[in-house]
Amino acid sequence: MNSVWKTSCSFLCDANFHPVCGELPNGDFKAYPNACELHRALCYGDAVSDAADIKCDIEREELVFSHDSVFSGFDDGTSI
Protein backbone atom coordinates (compact mmCIF):
# COMPACT_ATOMS: atom_id res chain seq x y z
CA MET A 1 0.00 0.00 0.00
CA ASN A 2 2.71 2.46 -0.92
CA SER A 3 0.04 4.83 -2.27
CA VAL A 4 -0.50 5.85 1.36
CA TRP A 5 3.03 7.25 1.48
CA LYS A 6 2.95 9.28 -1.75
CA THR A 7 3.50 12.93 -0.97
CA SER A 8 4.38 16.22 -2.55
CA CYS A 9 8.01 17.08 -2.05
CA SER A 10 7.02 20.58 -0.99
CA PHE A 11 5.38 19.22 2.15
CA LEU A 12 5.23 21.07 5.44
CA CYS A 13 6.41 19.09 8.44
CA ASP A 14 3.55 18.59 10.88
CA ALA A 15 3.70 17.68 14.55
CA ASN A 16 3.38 13.92 14.00
CA PHE A 17 6.46 12.60 15.75
CA HIS A 18 5.37 8.97 15.89
CA PRO A 19 7.83 6.42 14.51
CA VAL A 20 6.56 5.09 11.20
CA CYS A 21 7.53 2.34 8.80
CA GLY A 22 7.73 3.17 5.14
CA GLU A 23 8.08 1.16 1.96
CA LEU A 24 11.10 2.21 -0.05
CA PRO A 25 11.01 2.25 -3.88
CA ASN A 26 12.89 -1.08 -3.97
CA GLY A 27 10.17 -2.75 -1.86
CA ASP A 28 12.12 -2.86 1.41
CA PHE A 29 10.60 -1.52 4.59
CA LYS A 30 12.49 0.80 6.91
CA ALA A 31 11.73 2.54 10.19
CA TYR A 32 11.82 6.32 10.42
CA PRO A 33 11.58 8.48 13.56
CA ASN A 34 8.51 10.29 12.20
CA ALA A 35 6.45 10.83 9.07
CA CYS A 36 8.46 13.93 8.11
CA GLU A 37 11.69 11.94 7.93
CA LEU A 38 9.93 9.25 5.88
CA HIS A 39 8.63 11.81 3.36
CA ARG A 40 12.01 13.52 3.22
CA ALA A 41 13.74 10.21 2.48
CA LEU A 42 11.25 9.32 -0.26
CA CYS A 43 11.63 12.76 -1.84
CA TYR A 44 15.33 13.43 -1.48
CA GLY A 45 16.95 10.03 -1.01
CA ASP A 46 17.35 7.56 1.81
CA ALA A 47 18.44 8.65 5.28
CA VAL A 48 19.91 6.67 8.14
CA SER A 49 17.17 5.69 10.57
CA ASP A 50 17.58 6.32 14.26
CA ALA A 51 14.58 4.11 14.97
CA ALA A 52 16.19 0.81 14.01
CA ASP A 53 14.58 -0.93 16.99
CA ILE A 54 11.12 -0.33 15.51
CA LYS A 55 9.90 -3.47 13.75
CA CYS A 56 8.60 -2.71 10.30
CA ASP A 57 6.67 -5.95 9.97
CA ILE A 58 3.90 -4.72 12.29
CA GLU A 59 1.03 -2.50 11.24
CA ARG A 60 1.49 1.25 11.47
CA GLU A 61 -1.56 1.54 13.75
CA GLU A 62 -0.06 -0.89 16.25
CA LEU A 63 3.24 0.93 16.09
CA VAL A 64 1.59 4.29 16.79
CA PHE A 65 -0.52 2.78 19.58
CA SER A 66 2.49 1.27 21.31
CA HIS A 67 4.38 4.54 20.95
CA ASP A 68 1.44 6.49 22.41
CA SER A 69 0.91 4.09 25.30
CA VAL A 70 4.39 4.82 26.61
CA PHE A 71 3.53 8.49 27.06
CA SER A 72 -0.24 8.55 27.57
CA GLY A 73 -0.59 6.41 30.67
CA PHE A 74 -2.44 3.18 31.20
CA ASP A 75 -5.90 2.05 30.09
CA ASP A 76 -7.37 2.72 33.54
CA GLY A 77 -6.36 6.39 33.30
CA THR A 78 -3.33 6.15 35.58
CA SER A 79 -0.55 8.35 34.30
CA ILE A 80 3.07 7.28 34.23
pLDDT tens digits, residue range 38-51?
A: 777 777 665 444 44
Q: How many domains in the chain? A: 1
Residues 6+ apart with CB under 8 A from 27: none
Whether 44 maps to a domain, the answer reads yes
Whether 42 maps to a domain, the answer reads yes
Whether 66 maps to a domain, the answer reads no
The model carries a pTM of 0.40
Contact 63, 70 (CB under 8 A): no
Structural domain span for residue 55: 16-60
pLDDT tens digits, residue range 7-60?
A: 456 656 665 667 777 777 777 777 777 777 777 777 766 544 444 444 454 444
Q: What is the CATH number for 23? A: 3.30.60
Query: What is the rounded CA–CA span in Å between residue 31 and residue 48?
Result: 9
Is the CA virtual torsion 2, 11, 40, 52 positive or negative? Answer: negative
